[in-house]
A and B are shown apart, each in its own frame.
Chain A
Amino acid sequence: MDIFTLVMWIGTLVFLAISFAKNKAKTAKALKMALNMGKGMALSIFTIIFAIGLILTLMPPAEIAIFVGKQPAFLATVASALLGTITLVPAFIAFPLVGTLVDAGVGIVPSVAFLTTLTMVGIVTFPLEKKEFGTKFTAIRNGLSFIFAIIIALIMGVFI
């Protein structure tokens, strides 16, 4: 468990203890709410996780790197941005992954486009996000993130 997860746990447990000392009924209600939230999301999250597992097996990142590395620069940027949208990957997995891409000779621009869409845009997680925020919000947030991922990548290319 990394330090930040640990801090969140400790902070929440302290919060819970204070809440319990102040108002038992309210705390019980909070725990019940948390349980309901978990129940509501559990199935979707498990589905998404199994989808991510499947996708990572069918399209290993190393092969993606080879594929992207062969394309001309502009095509590589769009292709890697698109590949990144397939699923949402937590940042701590995304960074080492993009590190291997750069080491394997993939340019900075496609790598950054990949990193940004990988963590911000998710087609696999779309149903879950839609359930929580509605179709319009989800479509706009993902769409804007995709466009800006490419803009960020292009500007990065100028600076680095």
Chain B
Amino acid sequence: MMILRRIKDNLFLFTIILAYGLISIINPSMGLASVKNSGYYIKEMLMIMPVIFVLTALLDLWVPKEKIMQFLGRDAKAKGLLLAFVIGSVSAGPIYAAFPMCTMLHKKGASIRNIVVILSSWAVIKIPMLLNEAKFLGLRFMIVRWLLTVAAIIIFSWLADKIIKDEDLPQGEAQKLGVSINKEACIGCRICVEIYPELFEMKAKKAFVKDYDDREIDSERLKKTMMDCPVKAIEHTE
């Protein structure tokens, strides 16, 4: 049971391991080439991910929520868009390097639109890459593509903002300190709200953690709530 569940939770990982096993039996040289290809990306990731994690944590602790809201929130308008473009396009690394930073910014009040802008420009409007692009594809190509892509991002981030609501994003992540809820797991049973209404509330049929003060947590009651949650979706990291 336990093993089955672990496989189900990490289905992708097991598929990849299986694929590597198969390819190494059928064609060992191809297996080796794949590992070699991966090694290149791992090196690149190790160069950029640690610094992003540390930067994200520092920004999270030092920049107050009001500032993020003011500069990247819903009311920041054009100023927010511009800042989002700048953040995305000066950063190094692939788009998934931007994930932890964007979830942190969103939690602190950045709008969906600005998050989409950061992610998209992080992916494809790289100022560090402009010279590279001009070299491989020509100056005219680079300028036209750059202008078109910026315009496209402005339009589709607006569309995304219309479709996606703030509550659609998972509220708590494992990396976040304190109490959080795994929104993918939550089935909206309301048990936590009934046991500990001071800490939990319901929004759009899912449980959410209210704003709280660390010192006011009743750890006994929290423990009971966590035990009683039928899908064990409540996490508490100290």
A residues sitting closer than 8 Å to B (CB atoms) are 1-5, 8-9, 11-12, 15-16, 19, 26, 29-41, 43, 45-54, 56-58, 88-92, 95-96, 98-99, 102, 108, 112, 115-116, 119-120, 122, 125, 127-137, 140-141, 144-145, 147-148, 151-152, 155-156, 159-160
Contacts and interface: CB of A to CB of B under 8 A. Distances in A.
Closest 10 CB pairs of A and B: A53-B38, A99-B136, A53-B37, A33-B57, A37-B175, A90-B94, A34-B53, A4-B128, A30-B57, A144-B156
Interface string B221-238: 000000000000000010
Contacts of B153: 148
Interface in B100-134: 100, 102-103, 112, 116, 119-120, 123-124, 126-129, 132-133
A31 B159 CA distance: 36
B217 interface: no
B132 A96 contact: yes
Most buried by A among B41, B170, B173: B41
Contacts of B189: none
A91 B124 contact: yes
Given A119-B124, A137-B169, A148-B152, A19 B58 contact: yes
A52 B45 CA distance: 13
A30 B61 contact: yes
Contact of A3 (B94, B128, B145, B152): B128
Nearest to A130: B184
Contacts of A39: 174-175
22 contacts: A12-B51, A12-B58, A19-B62, A34-B56, A35-B53, A36-B177, A49-B45, A50-B20, A53-B36, A53-B38, A56-B34, A95-B132, A108-B141, A116-B124, A116-B149, A120-B95, A120-B123, A127-B12, A132-B103, A137-B164, A147-B156, A159-B144
B132 A133 contact: no
Contacts of A49: 38, 41-42, 45
Contacts of B30: 57-58
A37 B34 contact: no
B219 to A, nearest CB: 19
Contacts of A147: 156
A8 B45 contact: no
A89 B177 contact: no
A45 B137 contact: no
Given A33-B61, A54-B20, A145-B156, A160 B141 contact: yes
Contact of A5 (B23, B62, B92): B92
Given A8-B55, A120-B123, A57 B34 contact: yes
B52 to A, nearest CB: 8
B47 interface: yes
B168 interface: yes
- Per DSSP, chain B at the interface is helix
Contacts of B7: none
Interface in B46-88: 47-58, 60-62
Most buried by B among A31, A54, A125: A54
Most buried by A among B10, B30, B133: B133
Contacts of A115: 124, 145
A49 B144 CA distance: 31
B33 interface: yes
B235 to A, nearest CB: 11
B42 A5 contact: no
B130 to A, nearest CB: 10
